[in-house]
Chains A and B, each alone.
Chain A
C-alpha cells in the first residue's frame, strides 16, 4: 500500500514538473522574445525546442501511468485475490 502511494505520488509530482517545463519550453519556442530575456538568455529558442522535443515521450509515458496505474494495480490485486 505504501509502495502504491509512493508510486502514485512520484508519478504525480514528476508529471507536474514535466508539464511546467513543457509549458515553459513551449513558450520559449513561440514567445522567445519574452522568455529569453526573462531567463537572462539561458533558455534560448533552440534550447527550448530541444528540451520540448525530448520531453514528448516521457510526457506520454507519465500521463498514461498517471491515468492507468491505479486501475491496473487494482485489477492485478483483485485477480490475485481471486486466484488465491
Chain B
C-alpha cells in the first residue's frame, strides 16, 4: 500500500508540472492569437425570428463565385430605350434602399427567413425605360446561370435586388454583389451574382433550371414541376 502511494506520488510529481505547463502554454497561445471577428448578423427583426446566413445550402451550378467589386458592372440590356451599365457603387448610391423580411423556399425542402436590404428592380428598369414589347426580364449571373420572370411580376411587386442580408453585406457564397429576392417564387428564381438584366419579348424563354424540367412560373403555391 505504501509502495503504491509512492508510485502515485512520483506519477503526480511528473504529470502535474507537465499539465500546468500545458495549461500556461495554451492560455498564452490563446491570448497571442488575434482572431478576426466576422460580421455580426441580426437574428431578430420586429419580433420576427430570422434564419442565419449560414443556414443556406450551397447548391449553385458552379460553386461560390468571387466577384471583384472594382471591375464589377451591372448591365441593363435588351428591349430598353437606354441600355445602362452601373458600377457597384452607382447601383447602391443612385437608388432608394428598402428592407424586407422574406422567406426563401428551396425545392430541396429547406427554407430560410432573412431580412433583405436592397433596391427595387423596378427602379433600375424604370431608368432603362423598357420598350412596350418587353415581356420578360432575364437575369444573368457571373457563373452563367440564368433565370427569367415576367416584367409584370417585377413591376407590380416590390421585388428587391439585395446587397445585404441580416444587416451583413452579402458574402461571396451568398451571391455578392447582388441576389434577387424573388418572393413567392421557388428558390431557383433567386439568382445570385447578378451581372446583367436583359429585357426580352421571348415569353417562352427558360432559364438554367427551367430548361431542365422545373416550372417556369415557379409559383410557391404550385408545384415546382410543369409549365
Contacts and interface: CB of A to CB of B under 8 A. Distances in A.
Interface of B is mostly: loop
Interface in A3-57: 29-30, 32-33, 44-47, 49-50
A36 B63 CA distance: 15
B212 A30 contact: no
B61 A47 contact: no
Contact of B225 (A30, A32, A44, A46): A46
B213 A30 contact: no
Central interface residue in A29, A30, A46, A47, by most chain B CB within 10 Å: A46
Interface of A is mostly: helix
Nearest to A45: B212
Contact of A33 (B61, B209, B225): B61
A1 B61 CA distance: 53
Given A46-B225, A50-B225, A30 B108 contact: yes
Contacts of B214: 46
B222 interface: no
B107 interface: yes
Interface of A: 29-30, 32-33, 44-47, 49-50
What 4 A-B pairs are tightest by C-beta distance, nearest first?
A: A46-B213, A46-B212, A29-B108, A46-B214
